[in-house]
Chains A and B, each alone.
Chain A
Amino acid sequence: MKLAYWMYAGPAHIGTLRVASSFKNVHAIMHAPLGDDYFNVMRSMLERERDFTPVTASIVDRHVLARGSQEKVVDNITRKDKEERPDLIVLTPTCTSSILQEDLQNFVDRASITSNSDVILADVNHYRVNELQAADRTLEQVIRYYLEKARRQGTLDQSITKEPSANIIGIFTLGFHNQHDYRELKRLLQDLNIKINKVIPEGGSVKDLQDLPKAWFNLVPYREVGLMTAIYLEKNFGMPYVSITPMGIVDIAECIRQIQKHVNNLVSNEKFNYEPYIDQQTRFVSQAAWFSRSIDCQNLTGKKAVVFGDATHAASITKILAREMGIRVSCTGTYCKHDAEWFKEQVQGFCDEILITDDHTKVGDMIARIEPSAIFGTQMERHIGKRLDIPCGVISSPVHIQNFPLGYRPFLGYEGTNQIADLVYNSFTLGMEDHLLEIFGGHDTKEVITKSLSTDTDLTWNYESQLELNKIPGFVRGKIKRNTEKFARQNNVTNITVDIMYAAKEALSA
């Protein structure tokens, strides 16, 4: 047992559901007790989804506990098959159902006989993998299922497209700025004259998965999800993949050079040369290279920062801060413990120390000890920052609704470099401004405002009403006090009791 009230990565089934509900016309059925369908709330609220989340639960209740699910799961699958006619139904076990040790594969086999949809059982162990690992696995499982099916049916066409083309793997729902990153990647590939073959799982149809091998190569922008799929495709179809995250000027260039290498391997006569493009973009389209030379950024030299997040974002941001902006990264870390080796290798030489943990109190203690000028982390670090009065830029999941902005905010590609530069710069200046305010005694407007609002009064609050007033949350207390006193004056009451308070509320809200 572990004492905890915060976790960075969610339970495994969340990863599976994120992948399943990202595909078009795929339905997930959770084998779960009442209340475990919280995923629907997150997707509906955070992503502001207009459509019903294609996830339902086959409820595990007291009866199931006593007699087993029996027909229930099969019935629920066939019912969903009739109602929604999905292409694929993914039966998703949860941590509760996995200890029941029912033979879910058997349900899947039975249900697939009667239903028109394909039915698979998500193959994840809830006590060994987290949300991200599960998402990676499920994606690979779905791809494998459809490619093998196509191969069996003889519909698999392995010839590659005429023009250079790519699959983008790993864009999906509830991912940190994934929608914006996707747009930016599309633009990048377009600039390089590379067609996009398929994007999975977001918005993709499982019927089209057999076309995946037509692309020249695969692009896996995020470390956490998609790598297993890319490796599978490389092994079985000889497709090369690029897994360098195009985040930050140096890594974008590196990523493009890799793409060039793969593309040139497959063309015969004229070779592609992206160097002029990289040079043009770096010096004039992205403002980040110029920003690093500007006086603003000079002032950031040697300032201390702490970075924490998922492996992809924490590693990239660390490299950007240290290599591209001259900021001193005192500590960088990730909660992706399963990928610690890769992470350490990436940030080697760019930071003073490395922290691999999924315990937020350790991260908090580290930040308190280092006292950086700015933090780049998740929502948790933002709150740690609030408590310690250190500004924080959010660079990775887990996130709140404000990290699903409506405006265009990619982290990848050349526009991404601009966004990151803004984020970094704004975090530091805010900190600086705060600091200066403290030295010069702060803005002096506060006191004037309260003075004009406070009323030196003829009114007295008796003991009970004062107690009652103190129970009211701070941010509305002043308003309630003023309203009550106004009401008391209008009614010629000088002694304010609890009765008067409520009477005032009733009268004024009318």
Chain B
Amino acid sequence: MSNKISETLTFECETGNYHTFCPISCVAWLYQKIEDSFFLVVGTKTCGYFLQNALGVMIFAEPRYAMAELEEGDISAQLNDYEELKRLCLQIKKDRNPSVIIWIGTCTTEIIKMDLEGMAPKLENELGIPIVVARANGLDYAFTQGEDTVLAAMAHRCPQQILLKNKKKIIQDSSIQNFFSFLSSEKKEERTNKDLEKLKKNPPLVLFGSLPSTVASQLSLELKRQSVQISGWLPSQRYTDLPSLGDQVYVCGVNPFLSRTATTLMRRRKCKLIGAPFPIGPDGTRAWIEKICSVFGIKTEGLEKREEQIWENLKDYLDLIRGKSVFFMGDNLLEISLARFLIRCGMIVYEIGIPYLDKRYQAAELLFLQETCKNMSIPMPRIVEKPDNYNQIQRMRELQPDLAITGMAHANPLEARGINTKWSVEFTFAQIHGFTNARDVLELVTRPLRRNNNLENLGWSDLTKKEKK
């Protein structure tokens, strides 16, 4: 077995003919997350039709998003974009009175070169409501990257961190420096005092990535247990509560698809990025917390035990999937982290398809994946960027994986051919972060396997007509 293990990960790139959701789908979860927002998608009927069908019943709940549907007059510039957008935004202001309007640029606005960024500040002045522009289009991005474009745009709107100029603060800062250079040998004494000190010394930490509020508070709680205080989230529950940013602020991502946001926070807002694996799975969560703590010079307490306990709780599910193989077709950028977690669970990963891989932003996660493979003595999976679904299906025919994690377009046809599938979108909408939700991930992964345990003996797993040669 061990001779098969290659030392390094292999990266490939295919044609990019794969199925994924359009990035404008991010409005679905972001409008719910940011309670006082309104999302206006500037696009065509095609965009509207996608949203309407992808979001299903949510449409009927008077959502805080709408289409600004472009008509022939808009395309041929017979109508003035500015006046048109102003008319619609005035109506939105009258009907909903949001604290922010977010314009989502689409493929069409790109092609006709509609200057949304230029119009927004002007209209913002006239209207008195902030207008944030995010270009979440299918020309450049896939699915969850939509959130990345929105958060990157929003990072510009976060207030500036007020610099504390009093002496005490400066001394504190230098003591943080000390933490880095001489790791805590003498720090073990005076625990109780130190604990208080630590809280004070904790420089501001902002986490970025949109999570349901319960998951956000679970993660905050985990960090608080290690005496790390979170000073804010991007995005916050309300637009008006966006966190302050500045050169003293540390930032850390909770999702693997936020590379633009990370770049913006570092380059434009001068924040310090903590590059860590993502808190998906108990292993990921522990590594994430440990990385943050190590940056702050804090020694973690009881983390190991906590992780162990979570694994203990997962035992029944682990028995079900150990040794089984999985194939990620790739469509939402969570694939690396999920694969790493599943390998740690004892699964064999044949292929990790992924729309786009930022090797710098995901560096820690990739390293962690490599280590996990080694520890579990499992061959390194191939990572396929911009996969080609047709080729993938051919490969799957050959490999016959026990589980394919795939989009909805392929799920039923694969099931009919006897390959178990799990919809990949569910991982974007389910709660998968932190210790508490590790079980939910496995609940999803094992569902097709558990279902099939019940159906296995009926003798009709292949439900297609014989294919002609």
Binding site for B on A (CB under 8 A): 1-7, 10-11, 13-14, 32-38, 40-42, 44-45, 48-53, 56-57, 59-62, 65, 76, 83, 94-96, 99-100, 126-128, 130, 380, 383, 386, 400, 468, 471-472, 498-499, 502, 505-507, 509-510
Contacts and interface: CB of A to CB of B under 8 A. Distances in A.
A35 B139 CA distance: 9
Given A33-B107, A38-B54, A471-B214, A50 B412 contact: yes
B139 A62 contact: yes
B85 interface: yes
Interface stretch (B12-20, B171-179, B444-452): B12-20
A33 B139 contact: yes
A26 to B, nearest CB: 16
A499 B220 CA distance: 11
Nearest to B95: A3
Contacts of A2: 67-69, 71
19 contacts: A1-B68, A1-B88, A11-B45, A33-B138, A34-B141, A35-B23, A38-B22, A44-B410, A52-B393, A52-B410, A52-B413, A57-B17, A61-B140, A99-B75, A127-B71, A130-B45, A380-B60, A468-B214, A471-B214
B458 interface: no
A45 to B, nearest CB: 6
B50 interface: yes
B230 interface: no
A81 B53 CA distance: 31
A38 B69 contact: no
B102 to A, nearest CB: 15
Contacts of A100: 111
B288 interface: no
Nearest 6 A/B pairs, CB to CB:
A35-B22, A33-B138, A40-B409, A50-B416, A510-B313, A383-B60
B409 A37 contact: yes
B400 interface: no
Interface in B117-170: 137-143
Given A4-B67, A5-B63, A498 B217 contact: yes
Contacts of B217: 468, 498
A471 to B, nearest CB: 5
Instruction: Determine the main DSSP class of B at the interface with A.
Output: helix
A2 B85 CA distance: 9
A56 B410 CA distance: 12
Contact of A35 (B52, B138, B312): B138
A65 B110 contact: yes
Q: Which interface residue of B44, B70, B107, B436 has the most chain A CB atoms within 10 A?
A: B107
A40 B69 contact: no
Contacts of A380: 60
A38 B65 CA distance: 20
A5 B221 contact: no
Given A471-B214, A506-B310, A506-B436, A38 B142 contact: no
A65 B112 CA distance: 11
A36 B409 contact: no
Given A4-B66, A7-B48, A468-B217, A60 B107 contact: yes
A416 to B, nearest CB: 27
A127 B72 contact: yes
Contacts of B141: 34
Given A34-B138, A44-B413, A5 B408 contact: no
B44 A11 contact: yes
B108 interface: yes
A40 B69 CA distance: 23
Given A11-B49, A62-B140, A471-B213, A510 B439 contact: yes
A509 B315 CA distance: 12
A499 B306 CA distance: 14
Contacts of A1: 42, 68-71, 74, 79, 84-85, 87-88
Given A11-B46, A34-B20, A3 B88 contact: yes
Given A4-B48, A38-B54, 7 more contacts: A34-B138, A41-B409, A44-B408, A65-B111, A96-B138, A380-B60, A383-B60
Interface in B70-125: 70-72, 74-75, 79, 84-85, 87-88, 91-92, 107-108, 110-112
Contacts of B75: 99, 127
Contacts of A468: 214, 217
A94 B72 CA distance: 14
Contacts of A502: 218, 221, 436
Contacts of B23: 35
Given A41-B407, A65-B110, A509 B313 contact: yes
Given A2-B68, A53-B409, A36 B22 contact: yes
A7 B275 CA distance: 44
B139 A65 contact: yes
Given A36-B138, A49-B412, A498-B217, A400 B46 contact: no
B313 A94 contact: no
A127 B79 CA distance: 15
